[in-house]
Amino acid sequence: MLARWFPAAINTRPTEWSRAAIGMALGTLFSVWLCSKAFGMDVALHLLGPLGASAVLLFAVSSGALAQPWSIIGSYLCAGVVALLIARVLGPSLGGACLAAGMTVILMCWLRCLHPPAGGLAMTLVLADPASAALGWYELGAVLLGAGGLLACALAYNNATRTRYPKGAVEPAAALLVNPNAASDPAITAADLKLALAEMERFYDVEPTELEQLIHAAETHARRRSIGEVLASRVV
């Protein structure tokens, strides 16, 4: 039972860790600097936490659905609008901050732009410092400028370091059958995986077409291993 608490090994090499760490540092620095030039350093530093959290997704797990361009821009827009509305109605309070975060999650799910740091951003905006609160609705401009600067840095840095970003649409993989009898053992397709994910009623940061490619790749390796074992047994 205790073994389930230990995390699985990360399926990346230390060079990838370094690439992501450098990108996160540069991206956060650039976005905060850009925001400070337009709205002042106090406002920019108030957004540092959410921007740093978003940078982890955009540079370390850039292939995930939570790290795509619409995810960060749409989620920051949702968080900004909801938080500023609640701050005007309820004022800066802990209850209002939690309410803003919850409403932001619902709006992000509806608009298909789920991005976890936006929940923290909504709380941050409701409990804004005096310099940020004085901006009024112009604070939304600071939010979008920070998000846009971070996204621009992610687009430039990830592609310059040979990491494709944003993730394009994945074409369905060709069906590969382990058993030639398709009627009794059909290949799993993206449509099947989409239905299975819907039945589980949980959010997974992966596209069905990507799962389909992974399954077909695993089938190919399993088939090669099986053929190798058969040939080895004949030699023996």
16: which residues sit within 8 A by CB, 6+ positions away? none
Token output for 184 = 């009794």
Give the orientation angle of helix 48-60 with respect to helix 117-126, to 10 degrees. Answer: 170
Mean pLDDT of the chain: 84
Measured CA to CA, the distance from residue 198 to residue 156 in angstroms comes to 35
Cβ pair 148, 73 in contact under 8 A: yes
Residue 178 has pLDDT above 50, yes or no: no
pLDDT of residue 191: 74
At 14-66, the pLDDT tens digits run 899 999 999 999 999 999 999 999 999 999 999 999 999 999 999 999 988 89
> Cβ of 174: how many Cβ atoms within 10 Å?
9
Rounded CA Rg of the chain: 23
| Predicted confidence (pLDDT) per residue in 56-70, tens digit | 999 999 988 899 999
Using the predicted structure, report yes or no on whether residue 194 has a pLDDT greater than 90: no
For residues 197 and 203, give the distance between their C-alpha atoms in angstroms, rounded to a whole number.
8
Is the predicted pLDDT of residue 202 greater than 60, yes or no?
Answer: no
The angle, 0 to 180 degrees and rounded to 10, between the axes of the packed helices 69-90 and 117-126 is 30
Domain boundary assignment for the chain: 13-160, 169-236
Q: How confident is the model at residue 187 (pLDDT cuts 50, 70, 90)?
A: low
Q: How far is the CA of 232 from the CAs of 37, 105, 219, 224, 225, in angstroms?
A: 68, 55, 20, 12, 10
